[in-house]
Amino acid sequence: MTSPALQIALAYHRAWTGKDLEAAMAFIADDIVLDAPAGRLTGIQAYRQFLGPFAEQFLIRAEMIAGFGDDSTALLMYDTETIPAKSAPAAEYLTVRDGKIVYNRFIFDRLPFEEFQRRQAGDGVR
């Protein structure tokens, strides 16, 4: 585990899954590009608005499944237990430059979250 990018990725992951959003954001570059399921977001403020609600409102706990990396990139897969879904796994492919994450390709299944929102809105009540 000598990949510098993986070290950064794991520190970022530990911070936000530990609900320390400020510590996590310290690893994010100002001009980060995030390719998320709903589309591309750019800039650290958009990133915070993407990650913050998930980390602070929905997340119960996270468990790492696998992490690999090389000099400049890291690939993580982990499971999360959340309020909307007992198991909501995700994968992140991160590019690191000068100790900061400059790109993230983020994959997760939006379906349980959409179903949760529908239930909250009362549309899905049976």
**Residue 1 to residues 53, 66, 69, 71: CA-CA distances in angstroms?**
31, 12, 8, 11
> Which residue among 114, 118, 119, 124 contacts a copy of itself (CB under 8 A)?
114
> Which residue among 42, 107, 119, 120 contacts a copy of itself (CB under 8 A)?
107
> Which residue among 50, 54, 58, 93 contacts a copy of itself (CB under 8 A)?
93
Nearer to a copy of itself, 75 or 102 (CB): 75
Binding positions for a copy of itself, 58-77, rule CB under 8 A: 65-66, 68-70, 73, 75, 77
Q: Which residues bind a copy of itself (CB under 8 A)?
A: 37, 65-66, 68-70, 73, 75, 77, 89-91, 93, 105, 107-111, 114
